[in-house]
Structure 1
Amino acid sequence: MGDLNGTLKDNESWNYSKPGNTSYFSFDLRRMVAGSRLVDLGASGSPFTWRKKCSNGGGLSSLKRARLDRCLVNPDWRIKFPKALVTNIPTTSSDHNPIFLNLFGDRAKLRKEFCYENLWFRDPRCVWVVRKSWSTVFHRHPTKNLELKLLQVRK
């Protein structure tokens, strides 16, 4: 499971290589997977797990995309975990999207989305709760810090 630096099928890349010219790593990966009887678990979410913005020289830019990250298992593992699911998780902080392996296949129950109610503004404590949460640094990573601030305001 992870970054395998190659694709198993030609349609798993976009703008990645010249037509009809698969990369050296893809050829090796395809040969290894076929020879070892590994099974690709597939994935839900974005079809691509890697992206790179490239310049075409004349001031133009293009975006290369490919499915380089995946989860490969042998048939015995697949029999042991028949409900396993893989999800490609979008991100903006890396050129690779993380992949999430759920062994038991049960879809995570999503919590109710936080929604600000206008009537809260009438409560004089509301301004102080929001101000205190937004002025506090809960975590050094910006995304985690935002999540913790929102949780604090929700309380």
Structure 2
Amino acid sequence: MRDFSYFISEQEPMDIPLTAGTFTWSNKREFPSQLRIDRFLLTPEWELHFPNVAQRRLPRICSNHFPIFLDCGDIQRSRRYFKFEIVA
């Protein structure tokens, strides 16, 4: 846990917006507690490479946690192909 705290203080990660919901955990009671405890944390440098990144909450199936999906937006793929060369 100390290493994680050190990482947070050194990297200064940022939380990104969550879509399709406002919380990621519920205790499933009649009067529920609902919290956002699950998230992706990104460094500013990482966001420069993926400017359209977002977190999307997915439907809960059997857990009290909602899964979250990291959507990086449209990613341009290179058309370069890997090739082997025979060197004599």
- Check the 8 A contact 1:70/1:99 in 2, yes or no: yes
Structure-2 residue corresponding to 1:38: 13
Q: Where do residues 2-13 of structure 1 align in structure 2 (5 Å cutoff)?
A: none
Structure-1 residue corresponding to 2:79: none
Structure-2 residue corresponding to 1:86: 55
Structure-1 residue corresponding to 2:45: 76
Q: CA deviation at 1:78?
A: 0.5
| Structure with the higher fraction of residues in helix conformation | 1
- Check the 8 A contact 1:42/1:70 in 2, yes or no: no
- State the one-letter code of the partner of 1:98: P
Q: 1:95 aligns with which of 38, 61, 64?
A: 64
Q: Sequence identity of aligned pairs in percent?
A: 29
- Check the 8 A contact 2:54/2:70 in 1, yes or no: yes
Q: CA deviation at 1:62?
A: 2.7
Structure 1 residues without counterparts, runs of 5 or longer:
1-28, 55-60, 107-155
- Check the 8 A contact 1:42/1:71 in 2, yes or no: no
- The number of equivalent residue pairs is 71
CA distance in structure 1 between the aligned counterparts of 2:74 and 2:36, rounded to whole angstroms = 22
- State the one-letter code of the partner of 1:69: D
1:40–1:100 CA distance, 2 compared to 1 (3 A): same
CA distance in structure 2 between the aligned counterparts of 1:103 and 1:96, rounded to whole angstroms = 22
CA distance in structure 1 between the aligned counterparts of 2:15 and 2:74, rounded to whole angstroms = 16
Query: What's the secondary structure of 1:90's corresponding residue?
Result: coil
4+ runs of 1 displaced by more than 2 Å? none
- State the one-letter code of the partner of 2:62: S
RMSD: 2.6
- Check the 8 A contact 2:26/2:32 in 1, yes or no: yes
- Check the 8 A contact 1:89/1:98 in 2, yes or no: yes
- Check the 8 A contact 1:84/1:105 in 2, yes or no: no
